[in-house]
Amino acid sequence: MGWLLALPFLLPIATGLLAMAARRRPRQARAISLAGCIGLFVVVVIIFVRVLDQGTIAAQMGNWPAPFGISLVVDRLSAIMLLLAGLVGLAVAIFAQADVDLRREVLGFQGFYQLLLAGVCGSFVTGDLFNLYVWFEVMLIASFALLILGGERAQLDGGIKYVALNLVSTLFMLMAIGMVYGLTGTLNMAALHVAFAEVDQPAALHMLAVLLIVAFGIKAALFPLYFWLPASYHVPPVAVTAVFAGLLTKVGVYALIRTFTLIFPADFRFAHDLLLIAALLTMLSGVIGAASQFEFRKILAFHIISQIGFLVLGLALFSPLALAGSIFYMVHNIVAKTNLLLISGTARRMAGSFKLAEIGGLYRASPVLAAVFFIAAFSLAGFPPLSGFWAKLMLVSASLEQAAYWVAAVALITGALTLFSMSKIWSEAFWKPHPQDGVRALASLSATERVQRMLPAILLVAISLGLGLFPQPLIHFCEVAAKELLDPAAYVATVLPARDG
């Protein structure tokens, strides 16, 4: 059991080391990386099935009993996040085979990519706060490398801002961890749940909450801490942007959900109110930022921010339906957003630019690409019967349930503005003719490249469509997962050895 839970990070680390050793033979490195991603996907599917079957599972590393050693814990939330990480990892790895140039491969792209997946998966399985910090750092250093790999001037420019702000976030997290340990004497999350219930120092709790919200808020790109994201997400190769958009900010949201459901007591209204305000402003400022952009990838980058607002909204409302909505939104968003970025990369390959003014005619050049974009984009905007509709429906009805009408209003306005941006891309990139008639048909790409670019997009859009047409199993899963989060007794009992009394 211990090995199974450690595999989601051991496997990518091993693959990454092999790929790094083989980086001067890019063909081999690619094959190793792809095989590793397939292996990772199989592992996360096995874990997911097991969690569906048995509920929360835990393993103690090195047989040190909790809370003394490092616990690995996978509950339903972790399981679905792992599954998504495996899916995105695989989809982007296939796409990267066509998208990432040889020079970056020789510099070690595949190795850093695997290391990034290890950091992401490690963050999802760990049950220890300090270990979470370590995985964050693994993820961070890999993302630094991926972001500036190639060393183009714009990459360095965007990279320095990304690095500067994310380092501040880890320092906040480190300080908060030190203080949590000073306050309770443990860093095991399950033990912290027990210990925090007995802490009688509201001042310390408030300070820790703010420190952690800032630390994870920078990672998750919450308002007003998101300025690194629009500065940097459009500079690396599009495969890198896609995996960042799919996974990195979501790890921040995952950490927020974990912290404020498991560690902090459930009646800690202060943090929920703070998160609610941040979530609403994130939704609005992200979507308004997107409306002002005229570049395919920059529009999508601002929409990442706006949707982070929705994810945190569910946590802030803190009801079973709202949290279930958050998790559903997470699934929908990771799939749709990664896909849109992959499509933007193929669109640039065909039409020659990300700038909407300089491209066009993609509908005529490739109806398949257009159809895939159409479904993913309108899913993102929340059109029935696509997956985004159910996600928004759950969150809006959760806010109506609590009579928070203005929250529902902000969510609906954000949805409408998302539709505006998506229609803009549709009419500019796909519908209008290309300004210089420079668009090349998808058929003109080599057969291998066509498969590498279109297979992941079609796979992801099929999932989006499936979730939209048959949402019931996932909604049910999310409801059970939310119930687990709101009542962590089972989680704590699985991790900690039975206590007397």
Comparison of 296 and 477: residue with beta carbon closer to other proteins: 296
Cα→Cα distances 298→35, 38, 233, 341, Å? 32, 30, 8, 10
- Closest Cα partner for 255 from 347, 123, 398, 403? 123
CB atoms within 10 A of CB 11: 21
Find the shortest distance in angstroms from Cβ 90 to other proteins: 28
CB atoms within 10 A of CB 302: 23
Q: Classify residue 201 by burial, with Cβ atoms within 10 Å: 0-12, 13-18, 19+.
A: exposed
Binding mask 161-180 vs other proteins (x if CB under 8 A, - otherwise)? x-xx--xx-xx--xx-xxx-
In whole angstroms, give the CA distance from residue 306 to residue 283.
Answer: 4
Min dist CB 358 to other proteins, Å, is 9
d(CA 69, CA 311): 31
- Considering beta carbons, is residue 144 or 268 the nearer one to other proteins? 144
- Cα separation of 302 and 447, whole Å? 33
Contacts with other proteins by CB under 8 A: the residue count is 40
Candidates 132-140, 192-200, 327-335, 377-385: pick the segment binding other proteins (CB under 8 A). Answer: 132-140
Q: Which of residues 190-249 bind other proteins (CB under 8 A)?
A: 230-232, 234-235
Show the CA angle centred on residue 245, arms to residues 153 and 100, nearest 5°: 50
Residue 141 or 413: which CB sits closer to other proteins?
A: 141
Q: Output the smallest distance, CB 303 to other proteins, in A.
A: 17
With helix as H, strand as E and coil as C, how does 354-369 read? CEHHHCCCHHHHCHHH
Question: What whole-number distance in Å separates Cα of residue 420 and Cα of residue 87?
Answer: 29
Distances (CA, A) of 68 to 65, 127, 185, 190, 400: 6, 12, 10, 12, 44
Q: Which of 423, 454, 403 is nearest to 290 (CA)?
A: 423
Indicate the residue among 10 and 175 with the shorter CB distance to other proteins: 175
Least distance CB 197 / other proteins (angstroms): 20
Instruction: Provide the minimum distance between the beta carbon of 141 and other proteins in the complex, in angstroms, as a whole number.
Output: 7
Least gap, CB of 215 to other proteins (angstroms): 11
If the CB atoms of residues 134 and 393 are measured against other proteins, the closer one turns out to be: 134
How many of the other CB atoms lie within 10 Å of CB of 480? 16
Nearer Cβ to other proteins, position 232 or 366? 232
Segment interacting with other proteins, rule: CB under 8 A, options 28-36, 45-53, 106-114, 143-151 = 143-151
Binding mask 351-390 toward other proteins (x if CB under 8 A, else -) reads ----x-----------------------------------
Find the binder of other proteins among 157, 265, 420, 476 (CB under 8 A): 157
Q: What 3-state DSSP class applies to 124?
A: helix
Q: Which of 181, 194, 465, 486 lies at the binding interface for other proteins (CB under 8 A)?
A: 181
**Pair 102, 86: CB distance under 8 Å:** no
C-alpha 268/C-alpha 266 separation (Å) is: 6
Query: Which span sits near other proteins by CB under 8 A: 159-167, 191-199, 268-276, 372-380?
Result: 159-167
- For other proteins, give the closer residue by CB, 137 or 449: 137
Q: Would you give the binding string for other proteins spanning residues 271-310, x where CB under 8 A is met?
A: -----------------------xx---------------
Taking the least distance from each CB to other proteins, the nearer of 10 and 141 is: 141
What are the respective helix, strand and coil percentages of the chain, to the nearest 5? 80, 5, 20
Helices (H), 318-384: 320-351, 362-365, 367-380
Distance separating alpha carbons of residues 414 and 10, to the nearest angstrom: 40
Smallest gap from Cβ 175 to other proteins, in A, equals 5
Compare residues 158 and 415 and give the one whose CB is closer to other proteins: 158
Q: Which of 3, 62, 153, 446 binds other proteins (CB under 8 A)?
A: 153
**C-beta of 171 vs 277, nearer to other proteins:** 171
- Contact pick of 17, 38, 50, 137 for other proteins (by CB under 8 A): 137
Are 289 and 233 contacting, i.e. CB atoms less than 8 angstroms apart?
no
d(CA 49, CA 489) in angstroms, rounded, equals 22
Among 156, 368, 416, 441, binds other proteins (CB under 8 A): 156
Strand partners, 72: 59, 126
Among the listed residues 4, 6, 61, 160, the single contact to other proteins using CB under 8 A: 160
Least gap, CB of 382 to other proteins (angstroms) = 29
Q: For other proteins, which residue of 182, 198, 447, 489 counts as binding (CB under 8 A)?
A: 182
Q: Does 101 bind other proteins (CB under 8 A)?
A: no
Give yes or no for a contact between 131 and 88, defined as CB atoms under 8 angstroms apart: no
Helix 296-317 and helix 202-220: axis angle, to 10°? Answer: 160
Provide the binding-site residues for other proteins, judged by CB under 8 A.
130, 133-134, 137, 140-141, 144, 148, 151, 153-154, 156-161, 163-164, 167-168, 170-171, 174-175, 177-179, 181-183, 185, 230-232, 234-235, 294-295, 355
